[in-house]
Amino acid sequence: MVAQETPLKIREVTIPVEVPVKPVSKREIKQLEAVLIIGTLFRPDVLQAALSKEEFLTWVDSLAVAAAALAMEKAGYTVSQIAEELGRTEATIRRHLRGETKAGKLVRETYDMLVRGELKMAVPIVSPEAEEELKKLQEQVKQLEEEVKKLRTENIEIKEKLEKLEEARKKAAEEIAKAIESLNKAKEALAS
């Protein structure tokens, strides 16, 4: 049985990222490393390609090494220090840093996008059902907005009618008071 692949629906979003591009502490190195990994994985061009790879986990591992190596290089670590810290050969680290590996090239591109403030990430919608559900919810929101608009219009009309009724009630109360006053005067006139 062959599984049929459904292309992912992808939405691009720009996420403002405040991370030092020249880290000076281990914490900042880890922050840059995390942004490089996530930023690379969720780039629209990379996400589509990554999910279609059979060796996805191996590829992600290579990506993580490339991101860590670049973050450490930006902090001033030497290739030998990076290799020792990451448990890889110096040759592997050099290939990643020069962009000779796919992961190294992608991480470098992500870093450059980050520096320029152009890093965009893709949010995948995994199933057609989720996309359909989103459309239904958007339609419901539209209907509710129309209903609210209609209710606001009705509310304004009701307020106007209430104001007119209140005016009529006041006039009627004044007329009744005048009629009662006239009746009382007539009653007094008859009694005298």
Q: Distances from the Cα of 15 to the Cαs of 31, 41, 60, 122, 144, in angstroms? A: 15, 14, 22, 10, 30
Domain membership of residue 1 (yes or no) is no
Q: Distances from the Cα of 135 to the Cαs of 146, 147, 152, in angstroms? A: 17, 18, 26
Residues in a beta bridge with 11: 123
Eight-state DSSP code of residue 21: S
146 and 115 share a domain? no
Whether residue 110 contacts residue 39, with contact meaning beta carbons closer than 8 Å, is answered with yes
Q: Distances from the Cα of 57 to the Cαs of 83, 101, 152, in angstroms? A: 21, 16, 55
Beta strands in the chain (DSSP E): 9-14, 120-125
* pLDDT of res. 4: 37
Q: Say how many domains are in the chain.
A: 2
101 and 33 share a domain? yes
96 and 132 share a domain? no
32 and 122 share a domain? yes
* pLDDT of res. 130: 66
* pLDDT of res. 2: 33
Of 126, 150, 171, the domain-final residue: 126
Eight-state DSSP code of residue 11: E
pLDDT digits (tens, 9 = 90+) for 75-101: 999 999 999 999 999 999 999 999 999
pLDDT digits (tens, 9 = 90+) for 121-156: 655 555 666 677 778 888 998 999 999 999 999 999
Question: What tokens does 161 get?
Answer: 């009618």
Rg over alpha carbons for the chain, rounded to the nearest Å, is: 36
Of 96, 126, 156, the domain-final residue: 126
Higher pLDDT, 2 or 75: 75
110 and 19 share a domain? yes
